[in-house]
Amino acid sequence: MRRLRRLIILISLCLSALSGSLANAAPDSSRYDVFLRGQSLTFVDVRTALGTSVSINGDRHTLIGDGVLFRAADTADPLVALPNGDIVLHPYIPRSNDQLVTHWVASANGKWLAWAFTMRTERGTISDLFVVEGLIGENRMALHTTSTRGLGVLPLAVSEDGAYVFYTRRVDLFEALPPVLDLPVESVLRLHVESGEALALPDSPACPCLMAFSSDARRALRLATAEDGITVSLIELNGLIEQPIGALRGYERPHYPVFAPDGKKALFRLSRSSGRTRSALALADFTAREARLLSESLPEPLRPSAITARGDSALLLSLNDFGTFKIALADGAIVRVSAESYLGTLR
């Protein structure tokens, strides 16, 4: 507990200076498309087409508010790259070390950040979850937990209005984990930030499973691995009704599921260790109640990034290198649209 108090005091002392740095470095009201290639971020002004490149060295790139949050490779500092070329410390998230680890996710619209720390203590772990609007909004504690078994909070998604956070608790948070969109989970809860009430999603004996959540927090997608393929189900959170959508045979693992903005479709990657084709893209259509293979002719290993607002196409990112592709959801046709990886737009 003394360590936690010292941590809170240290963070409080730094907040004023760090928030001031972010406020001074914040860009104007322009919109910026953000691209990643190697260890360089490029911010392209949508209005003028002028670009600013920022050299970084890190991972966990997350668009939030007016910048891109990432974890520095050398120090594990949570840093924010801004369109004016500045790199500043995040005002709230502490640096990870062997006694404290942090994880974060942003809402689909980039307006809300959910982050959590897990700290080792003599009796186990303390783990707290926070929600922040943008970069320098109020750092609101949404959940406080303690565990004698080493459990910590892992945020999985935050709704586009910041009202809900999906999370799970795990004992392996100090290990190197894959991104949450490629991490099988179980015992997932939806937390209502204002009331503090947590709704447990129905579990499945097939889990841990890959899961994704609609941006309005009303639906959850579950992708379960079975002996002969992948089963797809939709959970309607108003009533906790789980509906089977379909099954995709011949593949061993699902990856990177993303919902359409309207919550009516989801796109995901499939893989297997042998066979003529090792990977594919599949589409779950919740209105038609079907899941189908969309393409098994990928030019290289690709993962879904986002389904467009119109819902007729999606953006894909290369898993081998850098690059952005576009796929038509009607026929699975894929075209390359950029040699850089498109991360999204800062609004």
19-30 per-position pLDDT tens digit: 444 544 444 568
Instruction: Give the pLDDT confidence score for residue 29 in this predicted structure.
Output: 64
**Both tokens of residue 54?**
């920022």
- 154 or 26: whose pLDDT is higher? 154
Give 277's pLDDT tier (boundaries 50, 70, 90).
confident
Instruction: Give the pLDDT confidence score for residue 170 in this predicted structure.
Output: 97
Q: Are 184 and 257 in contact (CB under 8 A)?
A: no
Could you read off the pLDDT of 248-259 as tens digits, one per residue?
999 999 999 999
Whether the per-residue pLDDT at 14 is higher than 90: the answer is no
Could you read off the pLDDT of 33-52 as tens digits, one per residue?
999 999 999 999 999 999 99
DSSP code string of 144-195:
EEEESS--EEEEEEE-TTSSEEEEEEES-TTS----GGG--B-S-EEEETTT
Mode of pairing for the β-strands spanning 302-307 and 341-346? unpaired
- 307 vs 242: CA distance, rounded Å: 23
Q: What mean pLDDT comes out for the span 308-317?
A: 96
Whether the per-residue pLDDT at 90 is higher than 50: the answer is yes
Give me the residues paired with residue 155 across strands.
167
Give 10's pLDDT tier (boundaries 50, 70, 90).
very low
Give 347's pLDDT tier (boundaries 50, 70, 90).
confident
Q: What percent of the chain stands above pLDDT 90?
A: 85
Whether the per-residue pLDDT at 17 is higher than 80: the answer is no
